[in-house]
Amino acid sequence: WMMPEVDGLELCRKVRAEERVDGRGYTYFIFLTALGDREHLLQGLAAGADDYLSKPLDRDELEMRLTSALRVTELHRRLALQNEELEKLNRMLFEQSREDPLTTLGNRLRLREDLEVLRGRAKRYNHSYAVVLCDVDHFKAYNDRYGHLAGDDALQRVAETISACLRGGDTAYRYGGEEFLVVLPEQDARAAAAIAERLRRAVQDLEIPHEANAPQDVVTVSAGVAALSTTGDPDELLKRADAALYAAKKAGRNRVSADGND
């Protein structure tokens, strides 16, 4: 209880406070003191002590109390391990809830979150940003001709190809069934259109057979591009990209169309 520089009460309080902050393993405190009255007992327990022994020391009693302390600390250790595993599982579930299971790209939930972050950053640093909305051409016909397993494989390969074409900082998402969205920070419409064209060529160069997609007879994508200034609304940006994608399809597919309102 009485020690040089810092007394037992203060030491106990300090250790308990540090345990709460850094999550260190549990420290079992037994106060051994000649101050055995009720007031000092309550002070020790209030400071965070687990047990209290009064002098003179009974060694048999101390041994039994230490045995009890070992049981308690082992329970704390197991509980800490279980909590750590639970936190890992929660983090994994959090990530999975924002990931498309087929392609492992981000899903629309993650897209919404990321767009809000990007919107704030663009406003803060006076940056524009752009999106590219891609759609696999005649994908329903592809599934009808080759089957859904082949369709899933084609989507995975398209997703991998799109991701491989991006710069660091650009992000691809699965936007819908056969639709993919690419977010391009700090890019205007012209730069985004060039990136979209690179994606389009890369997908065509995969040469995945697609007999219902004449005249190429391979899997291709159409793409719509739109960009926003610092104050633009992400929802409006997505609508404009969708309109540009529709224009690309109407013009014959396997091409890039840029929105004209940037």
Instruction: Check if the beta carbon of residue 216 is closer than 8 Å to that of residue 194.
Output: no
Q: Residue 248 falls within a domain, yes or no?
A: yes
Instruction: State the pLDDT at residue 2.
Output: 59
Q: Residue 130 falls within a domain, yes or no?
A: yes
User: 218 Cβ partners below 8 Å, 6+ apart?
Assistant: 204, 206, 207, 208, 209, 210
Q: Say how far apart CA 133 and CA 244 lie, in whole Å.
A: 8
Axis crossing angle, helix 139-146 with helix 148-164, rounded to the nearest 10:
130
Instruction: State the pLDDT at residue 1.
Output: 53
Q: Residue 13 falls within a domain, yes or no?
A: yes
Are both 55 and 119 inside the same structural domain? Answer: no
Q: Which of 39, 74, 84, 178 is catalytic?
A: 178
Q: Residue 179 falls within a domain, yes or no?
A: yes
Q: Residue 245: pLDDT above 90? A: yes
Instruction: State the pLDDT at residue 58.
Output: 83
Query: How many domains is the chain partitioned into structurally?
Result: 2
Token digits of residue 149: 């397993």
Q: What percent of the chain has pLDDT over 90?
A: 55
Q: Say how far apart CA 170 and CA 224 lie, in whole Å.
A: 16
Q: Residue 211: pLDDT above 80? A: yes
Task: Return the CATH number at 162.
Answer: 3.30.70.270
Instruction: Tell me the chain's radius of gyration from C-alpha atoms.
Output: 31
Instruction: State the pLDDT at residue 4.
Output: 67
Average pLDDT of the segment spanning 21-48: 80
- The more confident residue out of 141 and 51 is 141
Instruction: Check if the beta carbon of residue 159 is closer than 8 Å to that of residue 182.
Output: no
Q: Residue 170: pLDDT above 70? A: yes
Q: Residue 2 falls within a domain, yes or no?
A: no
Are both 92 and 125 inside the same structural domain? Answer: no
Q: Say how far apart CA 187 and CA 98 lie, in whole Å.
A: 25
Average pLDDT of the segment spanning 178-200: 96
Are both 126 and 180 inside the same structural domain? Answer: yes
Q: Residue 247: pLDDT above 70? A: yes
Are both 118 and 17 inside the same structural domain? Answer: no
The average confidence (pLDDT) of the chain is 90
> How sure is the predictor about 207, in pLDDT bands with cuts at 50, 70 and 90?
very high
Main-chain dihedrals φ then ψ at residue 148, nearest 5 degrees: -70, -30
Lowest mean pLDDT among 35-44, 97-106, 178-187: 35-44
Q: How is residue 209 annotated by DSSP?
A: B
Q: Say how far apart CA 155 and CA 196 lie, in whole Å.
A: 17
Domain carrying residue 70? 8-96
> How sure is the predictor about 80, in pLDDT bands with cuts at 50, 70 and 90?
confident
Q: Is the peptide bond before 215 cis (omega within 30 degrees of 0)?
A: yes
Query: What is the sign of the dihedral through the CA atoms of 69, 71, 73 and 75?
Result: negative
Are both 72 and 170 inside the same structural domain? Answer: no
Average pLDDT of the segment spanning 93-104: 89
Instruction: State the pLDDT at residue 257.
Output: 98
Average pLDDT of the segment spanning 55-73: 87
Q: How many CB atoms lie within 10 A of CB 252?
A: 10
Q: Residue 141: pLDDT above 80? A: yes
> How sure is the predictor about 113, in pLDDT bands with cuts at 50, 70 and 90?
very high
Q: How many CB atoms lie within 10 A of CB 217?
A: 12
Instruction: State the pLDDT at residue 96.
Output: 80
Instruction: State the pLDDT at residue 172.
Output: 98
pTM over 0.75: no
Amino acid identity for residue 83 in this structure: N
Instruction: State the pLDDT at residue 3.
Output: 62
| 113 assigned to active site | no
> How sure is the predictor about 38, in pLDDT bands with cuts at 50, 70 and 90?
confident
Lowest mean pLDDT among 41-50, 146-155, 225-234: 225-234
Instruction: Name which of 220, 225, 223 is nearest 184 in CA terms.
Output: 225
Instruction: Check if the beta carbon of residue 219 is closer than 8 Å to that of residue 212.
Output: no
Q: How many CB atoms lie within 10 A of CB 211?
A: 12
Are both 42 and 158 inside the same structural domain? Answer: no
